Structure 1
Amino acid sequence: MKVYTDEELLNLLDALESDRVERKESFKGDVPKKAREAICAFANDLPNHNEPGVLFIGAKDNGNPSGIEVTDQLLLTLADIKTDGKILPLPVMTVERRQLKDAEMVVVTVMPSDMPPVKCDGRIWVRTGSRRSLANAQEERILNEKRRYKNLPFDLYPIPTAKVTDLSKLIFENEYLPAAFAPDVLEENGRSYEQRLASCKMIVSLDNPIPTVTGLLAIGKSVQDYLSGAYIQFLRIDGLELADPVIDEENIGGALGEMLRRTEEKLKAHNRTLIDITSMPTHQKIMPYPSAAIQQILYNAVLHRTYENTNAPVRVYWFNDRIEIYSPGGPYGNVTSENFGRAGITDYRNPNIGDVLKTFGFIQAFGRGIAVARREMERNGNPEPEFETNSSAVVCILRGKV
């Protein structure tokens, strides 16, 4: 991630016609919305500068300081833009307090995305010169062509044996598109079915309409024909050991939405609410496990697992005293066995699958799943979740109430 020197920032601050700079006097009114649009446009890098764009908070249009107070809360609010899920794929950006022209400003530096087009609230923003606008069909096509799978994460790799007909047009047009794009964007004419698939990274490009890993996982008709390990194995074991009797089992496949919904139904059926009528003056409802905690760990397992070179499924093993959820593939990137689960330490093996889960509504924001699971387990009176990590798997153990 490039860090600009003070001299470089001053040059950018004074470059009034630059398409790599935007200035805001404060962070009030409609500025939070416009700031996200600017970050989205810088990430798309339509002019193909391959250089970071900069958003200055605390600068007038002429580049002079506006004199705002740069508080820690302002810095935190701006930093949260990275993971609040409004910009997809997640932008690569930094937020700094800098002293420029004898005044404090916030400098938000945004790297060009390797996975354009980037959307903000379902709209693709671009910048040419001093103009920031919604991408038209031609500009969207240019952004699609900028992707090159050899430099991208595995979830954007093509599956050469698959065809566009292996993708469900019904799910794409009736479920995915209305959730991924704003209504006014969908109403625009001029974009074919294949162009929309390419824009959503379901196929490589309009000229190379081969389904990607993300496309098959999101809207594939027969996902496991191409990604054999992309399913969830559920076991309900009547005992404390794997060798004890199995009273319910199912291999749950299909595209991501169907697979997660079916798994949640299975988990709900076994997470029966008990009624305590003896220990309190009024009856109490007792939930063995908080549903939100199980959901968050399940979503994390599906999102962060490796789909490359493995036939291993996500495994959900429900014992009498605990639930064990196995995710194939060890910690990734900045996340290690030593810092796993620590607040603020995140990385994404499958960023585009994350976009799909966010679009379908399974994820509300990024990097908070483990924190939510811990909070819900505590509220329900369960022990804290336990994590075991190695180079080939991450295992989460949720224990029942003591």
Structure 2
Amino acid sequence: MQRLTDEELLELLNEIESDHAERKESFKGDVPKKARQAVCAFANDLAGHNRPGVLFIGVKDNGEPSGLEVTDELLRALADMKTDGNILPLPALSVERRELKGAEVAVVTVMPSDSPPVKYDGRIWIRTGPRRALANAQEERILNEKRRYKNLPFDINPVPSAKLSDISKSIFENEYLPQAFADDVLEANGRSYEERLASCRMIASPDDPTPTVVGLLAIGKSPQDFLPGAYIQFLRIDGLELADAVIDEEEIRGGIVEVLRRAEEKLKAHNRIAIDITAAATHQVETPYPQAALQQILYNAVLHRVYEGTHTPIRVYWFNDRVEINSPGGPYGNVTVENFGRPGVTDYRNPNVADVLKTFGFIQAFGRGIATARRAMQANGNPEPEFETTQTAVVCVLRGKS
């Protein structure tokens, strides 16, 4: 992440007509919404500057400080723009408290996205000179073309052996699109089927309709034909060791939505509810594991696993005393074996898979799955989740009540 010097920031403050800087006196009223639009526009970098865009909070339109107090609460609110799930795919941004022109200013630095177009609230925002605007069909095409010349994340690499007929037009148009874009955007004319697919990163480009990895995972008819490890292996073991008797097993295959829904149903079926009518005047309902914890760890496994160069599935092994969820691929990027699971430490191997999971409603916000699982386990009376991390896998162990 590029950190701009004080001199570079001052130059942007003083360059009033810049198309890669925006200034706000505070973070109140409708500013949080406009700030997210600005982050989206900077990430799209339609003009092709290939340099960061900067959002200043605590600065007047003329570039002078407004005297705003830059509190930790304000910095947290600004950082939430990255992970609250409203800007997709997830933007690369940093938030800092800087002293400029003798006053504190909050500085949000946004890097151009490797995976344009980026959307906020289902709309694609761009910069036209010093102003924000919604992208038209031609501007969307330009953003799609820009993506072809970037160092792409693996999840939007095209899969050469796949064809357009390998993805489901019905799922894309009837299930994905209505959730991915605002109604007014969908009603706009002039975008072909291929252009819409490309805008959602499901194919390489309108001129090269080769399905991408995320396209096959999200709307593919048979993703495992091209990504053999993209499934979940479930075992219910009657015992404490892997060698004990297996009383239920299934290889859960299909698109990412079908796989997750069927896996959740399997987990619910085995998470039998116990009702105690003797311990209190009212019935006490208990489950061996909180469903929220099972869900969050499963979603994390699907989101953060490595899909490249492996036939290894996600493994969910349910023993009599614990549930183990094994995700192939170790920590990624800013996340290491040493800092894994610490609050605020996140990175995304598959940012476009994250977009799909948010669009289909599996994830509401990012970077909170482990914290949610920990809180749910504690509330249910279970031990805290245990994580075993290596360079090749992350294993989460959820233990039953003692």
TM-score range with shorter-chain normalisation? Answer: over 0.9
Report the Cα offset of residue 243 of structure 1.
1.1
After TM superposition, the structure 1 stretch with the greater mean CA deviation from structure 2, 121-130 or 99-108, is 99-108
Unpaired runs of 5+ residues, structure 2, are: none
Indicate the residue corresponding to 1:118 in structure 2. Answer: 118
Report the Cα offset of residue 150 of structure 1.
6.5
Report the Cα offset of residue 55 of structure 1.
0.8
CA distance in 1, matches of 2:104, 2:282: 58
Unpaired runs of 5+ residues, structure 1, are: none
1:205 correspondence with 2:205: yes
CA distance in 2, matches of 1:256, 1:340: 25
Report the Cα offset of residue 135 of structure 1.
0.3
Indicate the residue corresponding to 1:163 in structure 2. Answer: 163
Deviations 1:172-202 (A, max 9, x none): 1111111111111111011111100000000
Report the Cα offset of residue 39 of structure 1.
0.6
Equivalenced residue count is: 402
2:223–2:254 Cα contact (<8 Å) kept: yes
CA distance in 2, matches of 1:333, 1:96: 21
**Runs of 4+ residues deviating >6 angstroms:** none
Instruction: Supply the AA of the counterpart residue of 1:164.
Output: L
1:91–1:111 Cα contact (<8 Å) kept: yes
2:220–2:255 Cα contact (<8 Å) kept: yes
Indicate the residue corresponding to 2:72 in structure 1. Answer: 72
Under a length normalisation based on structure 1, what TM-score does the superposition of the two structures give? 0.98
Identity, % of aligned pairs? 77
CA distance in 2, matches of 1:32, 1:134: 17
Indicate the residue corresponding to 1:131 in structure 2. Answer: 131
Indicate the residue corresponding to 1:297 in structure 2. Answer: 297
2:114–2:150 Cα contact (<8 Å) kept: no
Indicate the residue corresponding to 1:401 in structure 2. Answer: 401
Indicate the residue corresponding to 1:14 in structure 2. Answer: 14
Under a length normalisation based on structure 2, what TM-score does the superposition of the two structures give? 0.98
2:27–2:57 Cα contact (<8 Å) kept: yes
CA distance in 1, matches of 2:338, 2:130: 45
CA distance in 1, matches of 2:71, 2:237: 53
Deviations 1:248-289 (A, max 9, x none): 111000000011001111111111110011222322001110
Matches within 5 A, 1:270-349: 270-349=270-349
CA distance in 2, matches of 1:331, 1:68: 38
Instruction: Supply the AA of the counterpart residue of 1:30.
Output: D
CA distance in 2, matches of 1:242, 1:372: 28
Matches within 5 A, 1:373-392: 373-392=373-392
1:149–1:157 Cα contact (<8 Å) kept: no
CA distance in 2, matches of 1:393, 1:66: 49
Report the Cα offset of residue 154 of structure 1.
0.9
Indicate the residue corresponding to 1:187 in structure 2. Answer: 187
1:108 correspondence with 2:93: no
CA distance in 2, matches of 1:94, 1:241: 45
Report the Cα offset of residue 346 of structure 1.
1.1
Deviations 1:110-144 (A, max 9, x none): 11111110110111000021121000000000001
CA distance in 1, matches of 2:150, 2:86: 27
Report the Cα offset of residue 235 of structure 1.
0.7
CA distance in 2, matches of 1:161, 1:4: 43
